[in-house]
Structure 1
Amino acid sequence: MAPRRTAPHTQDRPLSLIEQARRDQLIQITIDLVSEYGYAATSLTRIAQTAGITKGAVLYHFASKDAVVAAAHERVLGLLVADVEAAIAAVPADRAPAAYVRRMVGHLAERPGHTRMLVGAITNGDVPDPSVRWKPLAALLQEARRARGLGPGPDPRTLAIIVGGAIDGIIGEHMRDPGYDAPAAAEALITMLETTLFA
């Protein structure tokens, strides 16, 4: 009996270009399927059928459905974080909270499939620590006040949670009604934030 080939996800070797291309394809298919059908209806069978390969071929690249969904979530989250970080890096510290809000709303409104993937992860309980969402913004808020020579001000955690909830609300409304002006809503949120933050 021939030895069973070990899948790349269990090996400590670099992936070939073909393996990496297949993994990228499976990740993109998973993002599209979760966006269209939701987490529960995105099965390994559906991923395989969409890719035109067998379920076993999917399992060659990923250990389970959870593994391919986690890779898809990581890809979407990584793109969001990189986009927002670039926007923040391009402005002075006292303007970082406004850049954060604009880019978060812009990125999520421009990529509804990615937004559904991120919402699905939260709904599915795949974001174990809620502070991952509010801590970076809380730090930006504190730094913005320091950059303007202001003292501690309002509780940054509470303010970050409120701003995060407002962004979620704006994006939720935009997803429900694509005609809703998400950029204008982001500007209104920035005005409220700056009034509270720098008062």
Structure 2
Amino acid sequence: MRPENEPEGQDRELSFIEKARRTQIIGAAAAVIAEDGIGQASLARIAKRAGVSKGVVSYHFAGKDELMTQVVLAVYEAGAHAMAPAIQAATTPREHLAAYLRSNVAYIAANPEALRAVIEIVSGYSPEGGGRLFEPGADEPIADHLVELFRRGQEDGSFRDFDPLVMAHTVRGAIDVIAPRAVRHPEIDLAAYAEELVALFDAATRGESP
């Protein structure tokens, strides 16, 4: 339970210990969901997996809705961090797109448990107040990065003329189906899958400039 003078949410700066505890609980939640499904992911079970009391979980998170939200955000943030070095090393828009695709698929391949948890939450979790945990359009900032990339590439001739928004969402759609398929079919060679995507979108976007 939160102190009476502390508002819900994270309006104040968290201490190092508090950040570490939240990370620990988020990791435990992801593990429980990935192993046993969203229906078995009670706060008590998550607390036990984290090695803390249920009260500690309730102190750090306003409720289960917040915890589930933070699990999804943590996975996406970790993915962005893992992808950054390869993307930043790219020197042209075409290299940038290829690095984006390869590093994205590599993160999916390296973190099946985390992605399984996200799939469970997004597809099977019902917030306490009804509705959806993430409203349609919540992933727009992810597509915005690609839109900007495509516009830059069109300006320098790396990419042909097309609607950057349509292409950005097409790329995201191609990536977003990978994790659910990999969960159902773990035998898929994701490295080869990534190369197919690179070839596909290079052909779809390439401009006349080399």
Structures share a fold, TM > 0.5? Answer: yes
Cα displacement string for residues 155-194 of structure 1 (whole angstroms, at most 9, x for unaligned residues): 2222222222222333333222222111111111111111
Q: For the Cα contact (< 8 Å) 2:90–2:99, is it kept in 1?
A: yes
Overall identity of the aligned pairs, in %:
31
For 1:26-175, what aligned pairs fall within 5 Å after superposition?
26-94=25-93, 95-123=95-123, 124=125, 125-128=132-135, 129=137, 130-148=139-157, 153-175=161-183
Measured in 2, the distance between the counterparts of 1:167 and 1:100 equals 10
Report how far residue 131 of structure 1 moved. Answer: 2.3
Bigger drift between 105-114 and 87-96 goes to: 87-96
Matched pairs, number: 195
Q: Secondary structure at the match of 1:178?
A: coil
Instruction: After superposing the two structures, state which structure 1 stretch, 106-115 or 167-176, moved more.
Output: 167-176
Q: Please identify, of 75-84 and 138-147, the stretch whose mean Cα deviation from structure 2 is larger.
A: 138-147
Residues 7, 51 of structure 1: alpha-carbon distance in 2 compared, 3 angstrom cutoff: farther
Report the alpha carbon displacement of residue 78 of structure 1 after superposing the two structures with TM: 0.8
Q: Pick closer, same or farther for the CA change 1:192–1:45 going to 2, 3 Å.
A: same
Amino acid at match of 1:191: A
2:185 is matched with which residue: 158, 166, 177? 177
Gap regions ≥5 residues in structure 2: 126-131
**CA deviation digits over 1:5-37, x for unaligned, max 9?**
448674865545543432222111011112223
- TM-score if structure 1 supplies the norm length? 0.82
Contact in 2 for aligned 1:97/1:144 (Cα 8 Å): no
TM-score of the aligned structures, taking structure 2 as reference length: 0.78
Contact 1:35 1:117 in 2 (8 A): yes
Contact 2:28/2:50, CA 8 A, preserved across alignment: yes
Q: Which runs of 5+ in 1 are unaligned?
A: none
Higher relative CO (CA 8 A, sep ≥ 6), structure 1 or 2? 2
- In structure 2, the CA distance between the partners of 1:170 and 1:50, relative to structure 1 (3 Å rule), is closer
Give, in angstroms, the shift of residue 195 of structure 1.
1.1
**Residues 62 and 156 from structure 1, CA distance in 2 versus in 1: closer, same or farther, beyond 3 angstroms?**
same
Please give the alpha-carbon distance, in whole angstroms, between the structure 1 residues aligned to 2:67 and 2:182.
Answer: 28
Return 182-191 or 39-48, whichever deviates more: 39-48
Q: Secondary structure at the match of 2:40?
A: coil
